[in-house]
Structure 1
Amino acid sequence: MKTEIVPKSNTPKTKRGEDRQKKLLNTAIKVFLEHGYEGASLEKIILDAGGSRSTIYSLYGSKKGLFLACLKSLVEEVYFAYAEHYDESRPWEEELIVFGRVFLTSILDDRAVNTSRLIFSQAAKDPDIGNWYYTEGAELSYLCFAKVLENKLPLSLEELKPLAQHYIEMLKADLYMKRLCGVSVSLNDQIISDEVRLCADIFIKYLKSRMTQT
């Protein structure tokens, strides 16, 4: 059975409303990254994006709600970037490579790295933010990729969830961790491709062995 590979998002019903909400979220992301969570003010966001406090409260409930909406928007960017490259007929071995390149390139972006730093620093002060991001970010990425693999492999979704998790975390283990920790690292398409190929080769070898045993 074919399954969706990206999460559904609640978006405004009109194009105008969608554009205004997108502008608000993009502005809020920029302000949060520039000033940190505590230093970001709704006044600054409203000044740059337009709208009003009542609009933000009606849409997101609070500054924290707006922050979580920004995180959701950033998470979905990765999913939809991959969805554009997805090919149902592509062999699963090749899909690992395609997914790996899109995913790793996305999380190595300056905005993604700085967002991760902001999340971790804020999660120490507000565990709700850390818990939310793990559930709606990390766990959701594992589930979405497990569904991709479910479309291509003779394994159940429950079997594939931990496998998808380990593949994604393997992709993050070197280049992303160096960027996150501020370690100087050279990045280009070839370096990213080589890292993805290494992770994919390890994963393919394990998965073929796993399927042979079942």
Structure 2
Amino acid sequence: MRNMFKSLAAGLAAVFLAAPAFALPVTIDFESFPGGGVPHNNVDVDTQYASLGVTFELFENGASVGPAALNNDYTSSFALFNLVSGTTISDANRADLLRMTFAGPVGSLSFLHAGWGDYTRFEAYDQSGTLLETLSGNGGSAFQTVSFSATGIARLDVFQSQDNYAYAIDNLTFDAGNTAAVPLPATAPLFAGALLMLGAARRKSRRKA
């Protein structure tokens, strides 16, 4: 009886330990770097936030042109712009596409967006490159919230509306790790019920003894 009780207890512990972990929320406001330090205008941003699970890269005409940049000339706080490295906000040297690559699948992806021009397009992809969801952001300098319902997002591509138009991203948030609700393991109730019955049987046998 004692050995059976121990075996069932060990089995129940294994079931719960094998269950996936809950998602961890991440928020990036671009006002500081994870390793310390304060951003300044036109500072390159590519792997500075890799420890939080995301990197950034710009593309022009389909080719990589390096990191994005932080700037606060057009905004009240630092935001991520599609500025090509080594240029300023007034140089009109702005990339076609800003790519965010996540270290693992994410969910609850949202951010603030401001655009100078027409609509900005956002495309979310999974790890296999399958398009999951497409959204658009209005033109205009006022920040608006963009939120994705898709989970399992591995990459986000942000497209400018017209050549050389600027856009900004701020307050980037996402859930890292497991992006789906974590269910109770199906076998857990069976193990729990067996443990309760064995416990009652042990108490009854002790009273008889």
Is this a same-fold pair by TM over 0.5?
Answer: no
> Rg: which structure is higher?
2
Which is richer in helix? 1
Q: TM-score, normalised by structure 2?
A: 0.26
Q: Report the TM-score when normalising by structure 1.
A: 0.25
